[in-house]
Structure 1
Amino acid sequence: MSISSLGVGSGLALDDLVKQLLEAERKPKSDRLNAREEKIEAEISGLGAIKSKLSEFKDAIKALKEDKDINGREPTIKHPNEDVEVFTADASSSATRGSYKIAVTEMASGSRIETADAAFASTSDSVLSAGSGSLTFKVGATGDTFSVNVTAGMTLSELRTAINDNADNFGVSANIIDTGTAAGGAKLVFTSEVTGAGNDLEIVNDNNLAELNKVSTTDSAETATYLTPVKAATNAKATIDGIAVESATNKFDNTIANVSFTAKEKSPMEADGVTPIASTLEIGYDKEGLEEKIRSLVENYNGVISEIKKLTKYGASELEDDGILAGDSLIRGMQGGLGSIMSSNVSASSLGGLFTIGVELNKDGELEIGTTNYGVGTGEDRLEDALEDNFDEIAKLFTDENEGIAVRLYDYIEQYTSSSGLISTREKAAKQDQDRVYDDRERLEVRMISYEQMLRDRYLGLDQTIAKMNQTGSALFAMLG
Structure 2
Amino acid sequence: MALTATGIGSGLDISGIVKVLVDAEKVPKEALFDRTEQIIDSKVSAIGTLKSKLSTFQDALAKLSNGDNLNQRKVSTSDSAFFTAEASKSAQAGIYSIKVEQLAQAHKVGGSHVTDASAPVGEGSLAFTVNGKSFSVPVGSTDDLSTIAANINNASDNVGVTATVIRSDAGNQLVFSSHSSGTANQINITPTDNTGTGLTDMFGGANLQTLQNAQDSIIYIDNQKLTSSGNTVDGAIAGVTLKLTDADINKTHTLTIEQDNDAVKENVNAFVKAYNDLIGSIDKLSSYDAEKKEAAALQGDSMIRSLESQLRNIVSERVDDGTGGSLALYDIGISIDRYGKMSVDDNKLTEAITNDMGKLESLFATENSGIANRLDGMVEGYVKAGGVIDSRNNSYTSEQQRLDDQRAAFTRKMGQLEARLLKQFNAMDLVVAQLNQQSQGLADRLNSLPGVIKQ
What TM-score do the two structures reach when normalised by structure 1? 0.70
Q: Counterpart of 1:375?
A: none
For the structure 1 residues 105 and 149, does the alpha-carbon distance in structure 2 shift closer, same or farther, using more than 3 Å as the test?
A: farther
Structure 2 Cα separation of the partners of residues 130 and 396 of structure 1 = 69
Q: Counterpart of 2:328?
A: 353
Q: How many residues get paired?
A: 430
Give the SS at the match of 1:239.
Answer: strand
For the structure 1 residues 23 and 359, does the alpha-carbon distance in structure 2 shift closer, same or farther, using more than 3 Å as the test?
A: same
Structure 1 Cα separation of the partners of residues 370 and 191 of structure 2 = 68
Q: Counterpart of 2:279?
A: 305
Q: Counterpart of 2:103?
A: 107
Q: How does 1:19-418 map to 2 (within 5 A)?
A: 19-67=19-67, 70-71=70-71, 74=73, 76-79=75-78, 82=79, 84-86=81-83, 88-90=84-86, 95=90, 97=92, 99=94, 100-111=96-107, 136=126, 138=128, 140=130, 141=132, 143=134, 168=153, 170=162, 192=177, 195-197=181-183, 199-202=185-188, 206-207=192-193, 215-218=202-205, 229=210, 232-255=213-236, 259-269=240-250, 277=252, 279-280=254-255, 282=257, 287=261, 289-315=263-289, 317-318=291-292, 322-326=295-299, 328=301, 330-332=303-305, 334-346=307-319, 348=321, 352-361=327-336, 365-369=340-344, 379-400=345-366, 403-414=369-380, 416-417=382-383
Deviations 1:312-365 (A, max 9, x none): 3333644x9553334556535643543453344445387833344343446764
What is the identity, as a one-letter code, of the residue corresponding to 1:302? N
Q: Is the 8 A contact 1:18 1:452 kept in 2?
A: yes
For the structure 1 residues 189 and 401, does the alpha-carbon distance in structure 2 shift closer, same or farther, using more than 3 Å as the test?
A: closer
How far residue 397 of structure 1 moved from its aligned partner, in angstroms, is 0.9
Q: Is the 8 A contact 1:91 1:260 kept in 2?
A: yes
Structure 2 Cα separation of the partners of residues 473 and 45 of structure 1 = 67
For the structure 1 residues 149 and 84, does the alpha-carbon distance in structure 2 shift closer, same or farther, using more than 3 Å as the test?
A: farther
Q: Is the 8 A contact 2:189 2:203 kept in 1?
A: yes
Of 463-472 and 252-261, more deviation after overlay is shown by: 252-261
Q: Is the 8 A contact 2:44 2:396 kept in 1?
A: yes
Structure 2 Cα separation of the partners of residues 432 and 418 of structure 1 = 20
Q: Is the 8 A contact 1:57 1:301 kept in 2?
A: yes
For the structure 1 residues 177 and 247, does the alpha-carbon distance in structure 2 shift closer, same or farther, using more than 3 Å as the test?
A: farther
Give the SS at the match of 2:219.
Answer: strand
Structure 2 Cα separation of the partners of residues 128 and 51 of structure 1 = 63
- Please identify which structure carries the higher strand content: 2
For the structure 1 residues 83 and 457, does the alpha-carbon distance in structure 2 shift closer, same or farther, using more than 3 Å as the test?
A: closer
Structure 2 Cα separation of the partners of residues 164 and 131 of structure 1 = 12
How far residue 236 of structure 1 moved from its aligned partner, in angstroms, is 1.6
Q: Is the 8 A contact 1:203 1:215 kept in 2?
A: no
What is the identity, as a one-letter code, of the residue corresponding to 1:197? T
Give the SS at the match of 2:288.
Answer: coil
How far residue 39 of structure 1 moved from its aligned partner, in angstroms, is 1.9
How far residue 60 of structure 1 moved from its aligned partner, in angstroms, is 2.5
Deviations 1:175-215 (A, max 9, x none): 7577xxxxxxx998968555322544556554486787775
Give the SS at the match of 2:11.
Answer: coil
Segments of 5+ residues of structure 1 without an aligned counterpart are 179-185, 219-224, 271-276, 370-378
Segments of 5+ residues of structure 2 without an aligned counterpart are 154-160, 449-455
Q: Counterpart of 1:183?
A: none
Give the SS at the match of 2:289.
Answer: coil
How far residue 166 of structure 1 moved from its aligned partner, in angstroms, is 8.9
Q: Is the 8 A contact 2:231 2:244 kept in 1?
A: yes
Q: Is the 8 A contact 1:135 1:216 kept in 2?
A: no
Structure 2 Cα separation of the partners of residues 353 and 67 of structure 1 = 17
For the structure 1 residues 416 and 205, does the alpha-carbon distance in structure 2 shift closer, same or farther, using more than 3 Å as the test?
A: closer
Give the SS at the match of 2:22.
Answer: helix
For the structure 1 residues 247 and 471, does the alpha-carbon distance in structure 2 shift closer, same or farther, using more than 3 Å as the test?
A: same
Structure 1 Cα separation of the partners of residues 433 and 117 of structure 2 = 116
Q: Is the 8 A contact 2:183 2:214 kept in 1?
A: yes
Give the SS at the match of 2:100.
Answer: strand
Q: Counterpart of 1:451?
A: 417
Of 300-309 and 193-202, more deviation after overlay is shown by: 193-202
Structure 2 Cα separation of the partners of residues 265 and 446 of structure 1 = 80
